[in-house]
Each structure stands twice: as structure tokens, then as C-alpha cells.
Structure 1
Amino acid sequence: MSGSIPSDETDSADTRTTSDGDDPSNRKHHKTTIGFAGDAMVGRGLNHIYGEKDVEPATIWGDFQPRLQSLDGVFCNLECSLSNRGDRFPDRVYYFQGDPEWAVPALTAGNVQFTALSNNHSMDFGAVALTDTIDVLSEAGIENAGTGKTPAAAWEPATFSVGGLDVAVVSFSDEYEFYAATDDRPGIAWAETDPENPETQRLVGNAIERAQSGNPDLLIVSVHWGKNWIERPSDQLVSFGHWLVDQGVDLVHGHSAHVVQAVEQYSDGVILHDTGNLVDDFGIKDDLGNDKSYLFEVTLTDGEFDKIRLVPFHIDDGVRPANKSEAAWLRKTMRDRSEPFETTYERDGDGLVVRL
């Protein structure tokens, strides 16, 4: 590589450029803040709520929308296809598909600038629905990566600018190999998340090299990894995250577990082991608290990591800011889940901050 809640007026996400009065040259510092979130499942039951003619799609974000809009952009994982076509892929338990007529405007209203598409639901309705998804996102100006008509296209990094930074994102999944792109069928970028696996080293390493060739200010790997409903990453996933950083990745954006996991600082990189959910109709799973999540607001100053602000919110067929008890649960839970990594969190209103 060459985000507090609204009450923190002196350090809010809307501050893009600041003047440093203590700097003899009084030069201006450029700040970029990107919100990283987990799985966005804008389909299934949500079609019957936000797809109605008299419902504004932006209402899915509730009172949390201004927070999302205050950032330079939001990055998430799209946990469904966006299409009204296709046939169900055989032998699946759950099928997720959203109507693009409302789902794309909803994502735009949530300031979603990038979606990872490589996951275990992208092909739930087959190749035609997958290609429809790529098309409607691209037409809306929402960057995406991790799927394609060929394996080479699926592994192609997304390159774009956000908040004045040149960003490159590699996206892939270790979930559901059956959805992997082949020479004969569109699909996802798939690889085992094992740093010792030669094929993984080849596939992921080559994708990272392609991303590095453009000399981006920020190189991200957005990876759908690990099992659902797991509170802590496995030792293998921790090692794999370290391997990614050792290859030159600046930030690892993890998702799949449906619950928030640890933030880890490793070497010169940042690993968001799992960013939980952004919006869904999943309900509550046992006592895992998957209806509560964080928006991980990563701020870079002059292209260098500055801090990560964890802003709490609640999910119930839509999104709203977390209340006091929900925010307190999230703070305790995040600290507990991060103990193995010795991550230092500062209290910041209802949320947390990690200084980098």
C-alpha cells in the first residue's frame, strides 16, 4: 500500500480532507473511509416486502442509511443472484434470488460501491441468473468481482477508484466447488483456503499478481471462507489470512460465517476475519447474535491505514442503528472473539475503534 458514530463530530466519516495545524507546512491530508460489511441477501422473503409497488427500496436501510451514505463507499458480499430468470441448481437446501427491480436501487441507496459475488449462492438459479446479476450490477455502476463466463474472467480483479484511492479487489470462495467456473460454464472463482495447497498458491497468487500490476493504492482480497455460524476462524483460516498479507494484500475482507469475528493486525495488513451480515431475512440462529452486526469503517489517511471504526447496527428484514443493549452485546462479543489476536479496541460511543 504505497469511521464513531455520529456523536463524534471531530472525527466523523464525512471528513475527507483535513488541514493539520501542527504541521509546519500546513499541508492538507486526504482521508478516505470505506465501509466493509458482510453478507447482503436482498432476495427471498425480502422480495415480498421491498418489491411491492408502494414501497421505496431505500427503506430497507431505515435510519442507518445516512451512516452508509456518509462514507466514500460500502463494500459487501452479495449472497444471492439478482434476476427473474433461471432454474434452481439441483440438490440445494436454500435458494436465494432477488428481484433486480428493487434490489439494485436498494444497494445503490445503501452506497454499495463494490460487491463480491464469489460465494455459495451466486449460482442458485444457474448460469443465466448469474450473468444477469453481473449485468445489472455493472449497468448500475456497482463494481463486482469473483464470477465470470470463464475461469479467467472469474479470477479477474476489479479495479476502480473510491474516495480518491485506486483500489484493486480479488474475490474468491472456498465454499461450494460445484459453482466454480469452467471452460464450458460461467461460475465463481473457487479455491481451497489452504496456504500449503499448490493449486491455491497458483490461482490466488496469480490473481494477486494481476491486481498488483496496476500498482493500486489499496489491494483487497474479499473472500467467502469458512463455515456458517462459527464465532472464531479456524487455525487454517488464520494462517491463510497471514499468507494473503505476506503476498502483498493490504486488507482481507472476510465473510461467510454470518456472525462478526475478530479484527486482526498482521504485519502491514489488516484482516477482517468475518464482517457478519449487512441485510437478510435469516432470523436469529441460536444465541449467536447474527441479527446484530458491525459496519467496519476503514479510514486511510494519505493512503495509509489510520483506524477502523466499528459502527453497530441491527438486522430484522431491514436495518436500523443498534440500541444500547445491542451495542453493548456487540462490544463485549467483539472483544471476546478477538482475544487470541490481542486486538486493542477503544470505546467510541456505542461502537469501537481500532487504531492502526
Structure 2
Amino acid sequence: MAAPIRTLAFLGDVMLGRLVSDEIGRRPPAFFWGDALSLLHGADAVFVNLECAVTGNPEPWRRTEKVFHFKAVPKAIDVLKAARVRFACLANNHVLDFETEGLLETLSLLDSAGIPHAGAGRTRDEAERAAFVDVKGLRVALFAATDNEPDFAATDEAPGTKHVDPYRDEPVWPTPRDIEAARSDGADLVVASLHLGPNMVLQPSPPLRGYKQRLCESGVDIVHGHSAHVFQGVERRGNGLILHDTGDYLDDYAVDPQLRNDWSFVFVVEADETGLKRLVLHPVRLEFATTRRADGPEAAAICDRMEALSEPFGTRFRRVDGRLELDLAD
């Protein structure tokens, strides 16, 4: 009997703070996901980058200069639960926007809600620890790291994020030893959720691309990239899959009319215990504090851009019913 296929939905940045947070008390939790919620409920697991602190702490980070400070009210956890989020990456440049207290409350709220997380913690060891998610018997290990805000980095004595320098770090992180340890702990799939690189760029720099390629060569199955606020191309590397950047997914940001940070996808990976089988990209359009499925000419334009961005990596999609598909089993 063939092993059952599980579907893993990867989203980009989910920013529930600022004006989105203001709406949380006025709207039901399902509102924020719009008609794309059916896609998320159709997946066996949803993985996101949580681009804010979830806290009632009023004191922003002032230790270094920072322009934007994002926090969501504690009830934002109900928004994550409405989408059945199974994992939150916390390695980013906003999780400490409301200081150590804000991070600690975020960790506590996620733990109380039963949402695994990685990339930030009470100590460096905790920030480096993989999260494990059981997806209908498929054991997924998720590591998370960022090259943003080095002053947020956790130490042996202080809470913070897992910070990496993709331009200098050798070996890459997670290291082959980390990956092997996750396999020894029963992981069928290993994911690296990485908040790397500058904002508003459509292509990864050669060093960033090389860093992600080396992770796949070290045994990572899926690189879940985010940070640019716009999606980037998809690349196969050996048996691994690189989602170079999954863009934005939920926020209140101003829209760049050229770069279109309001365009994205639900990135659905189909897999079983033997490996990755297929990638399906469902185009979506971000609106104020909600996301909807794209269709017609809008969906075609979003798919056109993904095909153009992925073509230099040798990636060729099929277009099926307004979405993109890529076989991964061959």
C-alpha cells in the first residue's frame, strides 16, 4: 500500500500588529484569512513566519534605533488558531519589538495554544532548538534563523533570536550535525525557516542563494524563505526544495505598485515518508488585514511573475486551473 500523502502549507510573513491588531477586537478570527481560509483548512499543516510580538507589554525596544515596532494583542493567538497554524517561525526582526517581556509573553501564549515555534527562545540553546510537528504521522523538524537585527540574538544568559550570518557562516546552520540529530529523533522531513536578506528584492543574492543550496546539500528537505516582503523564485537542489522567499501573507502595509508586495501564494508541499512529491502554488492577493484567493487575469499575472523568477533556476511549472504545479518526485 502506498504511503499516504500529507499536505504542508507554507505562508510568508504574517504580521498581526499595528492596524491589523486594531481590527482583532472588531472582527472574528476567520475574517483575517478571507476566502483563502479554505485552502489552509484543506492542508494537513500550516507553517508561518510570525512577523510581530504577541503581547500586552507597552514598552518598545529602545536599545538600538528602530523605525517599526510591531505587536499584536494577545487575542491574536485566536487568529492563528483559526487558520490551524501548526508552526510559527519567530526568527525575525520584529519578535523583540516590545522587548524581552514581549518575546517571553509571545512564547508563553504560543505554548498555551499548543503552537510549536522555533528561532527564538529564553536562551541560545532554546532559540536553536528544532520544533517537531506531527502531521498525520509524518514527523517534521523545523529549524529557524534570521540575519536581521543582530542585537536581538539570544545568548546563554538572555532571551532572543537565532542569528546567522549567511555571508560568513561556515558551516551553514542548521549544520549537518543538527540535521542528523533531528533525523535520529525521528524526523521524516527537515525544514529550515529562514528570515534572510533585504526587503523588496525579487531575486536572492548569489551568497544567499548559495547558503540555501548548501543547506539542501546538507540534508534539509525544504528551505522556507521569507524577509523580502515579495515572493521570489522556487528552486530544486538535489532532493531539496528552496522557496527562496514566500513574501507577505497578512498585514497592513502600503503596496508598491511595481514590486506588488500584495501578491503571494499559499505554497503547498505534498510529501510522505519517502520524500517530497509535488508543489502546488495557489495565488493570493493581500488586502487590508485580510487575504483572498486571486483569480482571472490577476492570478495569471501573479503566476507569470513566479514563472519568470523561477526560470533562471531551471524550474518549469505546469499551469492548472489558475495555479502552478511542480512535480518533485522525479
What do residues 194-241 of structure 1 show as CA deviations (whole Å, max 9, x unaligned)? 3x534x547745543432331310011111011110100010011101
State the distance in 2 between where 1:303 and 1:155 align.
26
State the distance in 2 between where 1:204 and 1:94 align.
32
In the alignment, which of 188, 192, 201 is matched to residue 165 of structure 2?
A: 192
- Asked if the contact 1:157–1:210 (Cα under 8 Å) also holds between the matched residues in 2, the reply is no
In structure 1, the partner of 2:197 is 226
Q: 1:100 aligned to 2:71?
A: no
- Asked if the contact 1:331–1:351 (Cα under 8 Å) also holds between the matched residues in 2, the reply is yes
> 5 Å matches for 1:18-167?
27-52=1-26, 55-90=27-62, 91-101=65-75, 103-167=76-140
> 5 Å matches for 1:207-226?
207-226=178-197
Q: 1:245 aligned to 2:253?
A: no
Q: 1:320 aligned to 2:313?
A: no
Give aligned pairs, total: 325
State the distance in 2 between where 1:86 and 1:131 align.
14
TM-score, length of structure 1 as denominator length: 0.88
5+ residue gaps, structure 1, are 1-26
Question: 1:300 deviation in Å?
Answer: 1.0
5+ residue gaps, structure 2, are none
- Asked if the contact 2:140–2:187 (Cα under 8 Å) also holds between the matched residues in 1, the reply is yes
Cα–Cα, structure 1 residues 310 and 202, in superposed 2: closer, same or farther, change >3 Å?
Answer: closer
In structure 1, the partner of 2:314 is 342
State the distance in 1 between where 2:230 and 2:223 align.
16
TM-score, length of structure 2 as denominator length: 0.95
- Give the counterpart letter for 1:118 in structure 2: A
- Sequence identity (%): 36
Q: 1:279 aligned to 2:253?
A: no
Question: 1:110 deviation in Å?
Answer: 1.0
- Give the counterpart letter for 2:45 in structure 1: G
In the alignment, which of 249, 264, 270 is matched to residue 293 of structure 1?
A: 264
Deviates more, 1:302-311 or 1:140-149: 302-311
Cα–Cα, structure 1 residues 237 and 349, in superposed 2: closer, same or farther, change >3 Å?
Answer: same
- Asked if the contact 2:217–2:237 (Cα under 8 Å) also holds between the matched residues in 1, the reply is no
Question: 1:325 deviation in Å?
Answer: 2.2
State the distance in 1 between where 2:174 and 2:275 align.
28
Q: CA RMSD in A?
A: 1.5
- Asked if the contact 2:21–2:72 (Cα under 8 Å) also holds between the matched residues in 1, the reply is yes
- Give the counterpart letter for 2:106 in structure 1: T
Q: Which structure has the bigger radius of gyration? A: 1
- Asked if the contact 1:167–1:217 (Cα under 8 Å) also holds between the matched residues in 2, the reply is yes
